[in-house]
Structure 1
Amino acid sequence: MAIDPVLMPTATTPIRDKVVTAAEAVRLIRDGDFLVVEGFAGQGFAEELVLALEERFLHSGAPGGLSLVFTVAQGDGGDRGLVHLCHDGMLARSMGGHYGMAPALQKLAISGAIEAYNLPQGVIAQLIRDTGAGKPGLLTHVGLGTFADPRHGGGKVNDRTTDDRVTLMEIDDREYLFYKAFERLDVAFLRGTTADPAGNVTMEKEALTLEALEVAIAVHNRGGLVIVQVERIAERGSLHPRDVKIPGVLVDCVVLVSSGARHTQTWASQYNPAMSGEIRQPMNWVEPMELNPRKVIARRAALELHPNSVVNLGIGVPEGVAAVAAEEGILEYLTLTAEPGVIGGMPTGGLDFGSAINADAILAQPSQFDFYDGGGLDAAFLGMAQADGAGNVNVSRFGPRLAGAGGFINISQNSKAVYFLGTFLAPSRSAVVDGQIRTSDGPAAPKFVAAVDQRTFSGEYARRSGQPVMYITERCVFVLTEQGMQLTEIAPGIDLQTDVLDLLGFEPIIDGTPATMDPRIFRDEPLGLRDDLLTIPLDARFSYDETRNLFFLNLEGVVVRTEAELALAVAEIDRRVTEVGHTVNMVINYDNFIIAPDLVDSFAASVRGLSRHYESVTRYTTSAFLRLKLADHLADRGLSPHLFESRSEAMAASTPSTPSAS
């Protein structure tokens, strides 16, 4: 059949150009639309689009009755952020993870002027992704025992909010929560750095990528409108495909920002290339914290850090842990993270919070929460507004203030260990004087209460899951036990009865006399934490499991520079194994083990000499370089060249039935 030539594209047919003004873009939004506004505080926030939408509403009264969807409500308590969408009649509902920086939106939610839901930040991020994939919702353990659990409110903020979005389910005798997917997602406000006329968007100057791609997919697949604010327009086809974070097939409108003031990297920084990964910034600029109660808390928390651990730091007092780690020179031995997606480097604080200086990687926020929810965190240091005798913690709602859960629930429930940090009272009424804590009288709100106002962390859930939990203040330290909160430490200068017990809303467990907190944290000089972190006592380097006949030798962090040091080490190993009285299955950790290059042959010969003690020997290290180097030399000596990558692999291989690896 012949094709009508009038309908055929010609060389003169214009190629679609998606660049429009902000006013033209927001004109497409209708009454009652579900609007997804991306951002983490000022990061990723499309301020030009929000201001254009406000101007249209104030001029015409439309669009009204919008439903606002967000992970973190963008705002700074002033005239920036979502305050511009909080005019009477503009919003009908809000559904988000964190409200803390948006007081105008808080007021609408608390008063019942709009329907409002507060769900865990990670759940919102993952739910947007799953909505885009056409899934019915998100099935997860996150939120059990907290206010997100339907038995405790299901995330509903006020009485006006009646629809159930969370369902309790049981699979194989285990409880889960099912969060319903979004039925509608009509409009997305996103942000990038560069776009071409076809709508392809890069994010090279953004500190975070958040869930920009996931939002674009979800809104596009729901038949909605995707609008992206950018700083500059590039020639069509000039953007490298690997740099494109939002492909043009998902984008309907591109808006070139009219002013740099409406496109700041964060609320605090116009642009810091060390936060976007363009450069690596020297870390000697970090000023030590002033010695005050906040630093005391951060220092006590830093004593719980371990080499090679992956850590999350919350906002507020926990930010000080990063500053202490930098001051003590131990940042390089840790991997610090923040929930919006940064891994490695030094997490930033204040209005830069969520980013990191010199990050190793910047993930999408849903992926970061996948990592967290699956158990990727070794430790989390989080804030604490209220705690009670059952170990429950509240950071989300107190009286007329709705802070929201943010990422707190995902992080606190899934970290292998969790530490809650905060002053004992609010304000602290404490000062550091001559190596002690001195308290003063004055009005202050108790933080350790009979029952928290809202349960953001469930002590019962933590006990059932066997999670270690510690509560650190400048006056004392508690740990969560099967029986409840146990007071384990008090600060020097503190009177146990008048400065602690009389101010508690519950009776803690006290086993004997509480220990005195480490006096170093109250002195205005470095702790020496680097030596503490890297020095393992000799006795702790040897352990023997008689049941499995496994002998563990931990050489992590050992440095051997001379023949004399090598001889001493070998002699001690020989003595320890000889004491067992028979051959053993040896497991050796070589992580961060350093040996002078000219001693490698001597080391291999010494290992061969010790083999008379072994039925089998398995070695492991996470350093690929050391695995290769030692494997070559051990193979030359006729020994097993294989080194495993983890202790669990090594233990699995080193069993009584394993053929000798020596």
Structure 2
Amino acid sequence: MRTPLVLDPDRAAALVRDGATVSVSSSSGLGCPDRVLEALGDRFTATGSPRALTSLHPIAAGDMYGIKGVDHIARPGMLRRIFAGSLPSGPSRFDPPLVRRLIESGEVEAYNIPSGVLFQMHRAAAARQPGVLTDVGRGTYADPALGGARMNAATPEFVSVERVAGADWLFYPAVPVDVAIIRATTADPLGNLSYEHEASRLGALDQAYAAHNNGGLVIAQVERQVGERLPPARVHVPGILVDVVVVVPEQMQTTQTQYDPALSGEEMRSLEQIEPLPWGPEKVIARRAARELHRDDIVNLGFGLSAGVPRVVLEAEHQDEMTWVLEQGPVGGFPLTDFAFGSALNPHAIMQSADQFTLLQGGGIDVSLLSFLEVSAAGDVNVSHLPAHSHVTAGIGGFADITAHAPVIVFSGYFTAGRGRELVVGDGRLEIVTDGPVPKFVPEVAQVSFSGRAGRDRDQRVVYVTERAVLELRDEGLTVVEIAPGVDLQRDVLGRAAIPLLVAEDLRLMDADLFVEDAHEFDLRVARPRPELDVEVAR
């Protein structure tokens, strides 16, 4: 019976050959096999090998604080090509992060592939299928007409448009994998892996399949190895796929945080420890976004301002009236922010990311709460790129997958940007002391992360929530439907956008309670209609 080698990180890194295609499991600092990546980088510094690697990072390539994740291997000559759902963004000890420097200088070929698609590319590679045919990314930066997911001029074309069954689809070719570097909590003598201390399993199984089925190598970094076989129900990655086990006893739950059993679902913890969102315009935006939620909703949550919504929901004691789902895998529980983003306290379930994206891509949720950097006259949203500040944006992540078919999308953001902006909220109104000099509602966005035209074609309800106005994407155009008390429509809204905005005939004031610090209570909307069940049959 085959058993894996148990090696230290340096000896494991020595097995990676020049020119290999390496798939790494991580989501920023969550679940990152950082010690093995560090050993790879150290080996290259010492010997000049392995060279010319292609790396794949389905969700994110490691966090941005110091040298972490992909930055270990982001060396000129070591990294030739990278496919990433998202990238370290900043602030960083290195500004921009090392991988960003290589991309911006054109020293590596780089693709920003939607995370769900990138997981599916692994499944396609494992099954020896040609690739992924999907509408995720149509009309966005991933569409060949808008760049084909390429991140610099040195990167060749990759994504194509194919006509199948009378419709146009994006085709993302499968990329055969030579080495998968994954992470788990425990390995047994046969190499079976369990994830009891992990906040997510991410896509480790599919990445292992992709390497193993291609005759490649699977390296698993774990916290511990046990002498007895694991109970089969606890095994997530079977030992037949694992070639090398690297034991790292000091492995943290994320690259910045220690083990917390409430994140891995092993313990339940009171939510009293969750601090209320600080008072200010961001809380007003989160409160207004929360008003779009209904009882019993299945709600996806993204990064940015929208991440504050669960805290205002908790403050209003509605946390048990909806179910949060995160692309990293948690279902239910309370979504966390900062270093633990992508995990949840007290999750009901922790799915594989690849399976979670099946739910998200197919629109199996009620609403998605996301953020925006820019919005165009057509309702397009940019969340993935600002040319003057490319290192402060992480990239697309699961944004394109989630927005492809979500029935309702609520985008949150400030109406303007730039230094000097001073906004005061209180006493039931908003006071704009000094406005931001940079409009965020613009003729065209720097990069299309969400296509307004596609959203209209799919009959999605699209709402844009800001501190001073709420807008909707309608067939006739971007329309202001609410303004904040204390705001002048012409001066502060229409006059501060770089595009003409329509105004609803029934323009309303935003609820004054949104702008009162202690008025945290609100009523959720009634539950959405669900398929009716025949009670008599059920009995």
Scaled to the shorter chain, the TM-score interval is: over 0.9
State the match for 2:361 in structure 1: 373
Asked whether the 8 Å contact 1:18–1:198 carries over to 2, the reply is no
**Partner Cα separation in structure 1 for residue 378 and residue 423 of structure 2:** 26
**Partner Cα separation in structure 1 for residue 382 and residue 226 of structure 2:** 47
State the match for 2:93 in structure 1: none
**Partner Cα separation in structure 2 for residue 255 and residue 289 of structure 1:** 40
State the match for 1:271 in structure 2: 259
Deviations 1:437-459 (A, max 9, x none): 11132664321111100100000
Asked whether the 8 Å contact 1:267–1:352 carries over to 2, the reply is no
Give the 3 Å change call, closer, same or farther, for CA 15–294 of structure 1 in structure 2.
Answer: closer
**Partner Cα separation in structure 1 for residue 116 and residue 55 of structure 2:** 17
Superposition deviation, residue 16 in structure 1: 4.6
**Partner Cα separation in structure 2 for residue 17 and residue 142 of structure 1:** 38
State the match for 1:544 in structure 2: none
**Partner Cα separation in structure 1 for residue 284 and residue 381 of structure 2:** 21
- Say which of 215, 221, 232 aligns to 1:223: 215
State the match for 1:203 in structure 2: 195
Deviations 1:235-289 (A, max 9, x none): 142x1111111111111110111x52xx211244211111101011112222222
**4+ runs of 1 displaced by more than 3 Å?**
14-17, 618-621, 641-644
1:344 aligns with 2:332: yes
**Partner Cα separation in structure 2 for residue 451 and residue 15 of structure 1:** 57
Give the 3 Å change call, closer, same or farther, for CA 452–297 of structure 1 in structure 2.
Answer: same
**Partner Cα separation in structure 2 for residue 433 and residue 268 of structure 1:** 36
**Partner Cα separation in structure 1 for residue 494 and residue 4 of structure 2:** 68
State the match for 1:649 in structure 2: none
1:244 aligns with 2:235: yes
State the match for 1:411 in structure 2: 402
Which protein is bigger by CA-based radius of gyration? 1
Asked whether the 8 Å contact 2:84–2:111 carries over to 1, the reply is yes
State the match for 1:256 in structure 2: 247
Task: Give the partner amino acid of 1:430.
Answer: L
Residue 430 of structure 1 aligns to a residue whose secondary structure is strand
Task: Give the partner amino acid of 1:498.
Answer: R
Asked whether the 8 Å contact 2:376–2:445 carries over to 1, the reply is yes
RMSD: 2.1
1:356 aligns with 2:344: yes
- Say which of 104, 117, 130 aligns to 2:111: 117
Superposition deviation, residue 160 in structure 1: 1.0
1:232 aligns with 2:224: yes
Asked whether the 8 Å contact 1:41–1:101 carries over to 2, the reply is no
Return the structure number with greater relative CO, CA threshold 8 A, min gap 6: 2
Superposition deviation, residue 404 in structure 1: 1.3
1:469 aligns with 2:364: no
State the match for 1:283 in structure 2: 271
Deviations 1:368-394 (A, max 9, x none): 011111120110010100101110000
**Partner Cα separation in structure 2 for residue 234 and residue 82 of structure 1:** 29
Superposition deviation, residue 431 in structure 1: 2.1
State the match for 2:127 in structure 1: 133
State the match for 1:158 in structure 2: 152
Identity %: 39
Give the 3 Å change call, closer, same or farther, for CA 437–268 of structure 1 in structure 2.
Answer: farther
Task: Give the partner amino acid of 1:90.
Answer: M
Give the 3 Å change call, closer, same or farther, for CA 619–208 of structure 1 in structure 2.
Answer: closer
Superposition deviation, residue 37 in structure 1: 1.2
> Where does the alignment leave 5 or more consecutive residues of structure 2 unmatched?
91-96
Give the 3 Å change call, closer, same or farther, for CA 485–198 of structure 1 in structure 2.
Answer: same
Mean alpha-carbon deviation: is it higher for 409-418 or for 279-288?
Answer: 279-288
- Say which of 107, 119, 122 aligns to 2:101: 107
**Partner Cα separation in structure 1 for residue 57 and residue 191 of structure 2:** 23
- Say which of 305, 324, 328 aligns to 2:316: 328
How high is the TM-score relative to the length of structure 2? 0.94
Task: Give the partner amino acid of 1:480.
Answer: L
**Partner Cα separation in structure 2 for residue 446 and residue 351 of structure 1:** 30
Asked whether the 8 Å contact 1:73–1:96 carries over to 2, the reply is yes
How many residues align? The count is 527
**Partner Cα separation in structure 1 for residue 188 and residue 482 of structure 2:** 60
Residue 215 of structure 1 aligns to a residue whose secondary structure is helix
State the match for 2:137 in structure 1: 143
Deviations 1:514-538 (A, max 9, x none): 3110111111124432xx227x6xx
State the match for 2:94 in structure 1: none
1:42 aligns with 2:29: yes
**Partner Cα separation in structure 2 for residue 17 and residue 92 of structure 1:** 29
Residue 233 of structure 2 aligns to a residue whose secondary structure is coil
Mean alpha-carbon deviation: is it higher for 28-37 or for 98-107?
Answer: 98-107
State the match for 1:522 in structure 2: 515
Superposition deviation, residue 100 in structure 1: 4.1
Residue 59 of structure 1 aligns to a residue whose secondary structure is helix
Superposition deviation, residue 78 in structure 1: 2.2
State the match for 1:656 in structure 2: none
State the match for 1:436 in structure 2: 429
Superposition deviation, residue 512 in structure 1: 4.1
- Say which of 490, 498, 503 aligns to 1:497: 490
Asked whether the 8 Å contact 2:423–2:435 carries over to 1, the reply is no
Residue 219 of structure 1 aligns to a residue whose secondary structure is helix
Give the 3 Å change call, closer, same or farther, for CA 16–409 of structure 1 in structure 2.
Answer: closer
**Partner Cα separation in structure 2 for residue 334 and residue 135 of structure 1:** 38
Give the 3 Å change call, closer, same or farther, for CA 16–454 of structure 1 in structure 2.
Answer: closer
Give the 3 Å change call, closer, same or farther, for CA 111–15 of structure 1 in structure 2.
Answer: closer
Superposition deviation, residue 17 in structure 1: 5.3
Superposition deviation, residue 173 in structure 1: 2.6
Deviations 1:2-47 (A, max 9, x none): xxxxxxxxxxxx9855211111111111111111111011111011
Residue 464 of structure 2 aligns to a residue whose secondary structure is strand
Task: Give the partner amino acid of 1:464.
Answer: D
Superposition deviation, residue 315 in structure 1: 0.8
Superposition deviation, residue 68 in structure 1: 1.1
State the match for 1:32 in structure 2: 19
Residue 367 of structure 1 aligns to a residue whose secondary structure is helix
Deviations 1:113-169 (A, max 9, x none): 11111111110011112211221111111111001111211111111111x322212
Residue 80 of structure 2 aligns to a residue whose secondary structure is strand
Superposition deviation, residue 620 in structure 1: 3.5
**Partner Cα separation in structure 2 for residue 643 and residue 21 of structure 1:** 57
Give the 3 Å change call, closer, same or farther, for CA 15–224 of structure 1 in structure 2.
Answer: closer
Give the 3 Å change call, closer, same or farther, for CA 422–241 of structure 1 in structure 2.
Answer: same
**Partner Cα separation in structure 2 for residue 425 and residue 256 of structure 1:** 49
State the match for 1:51 in structure 2: 38
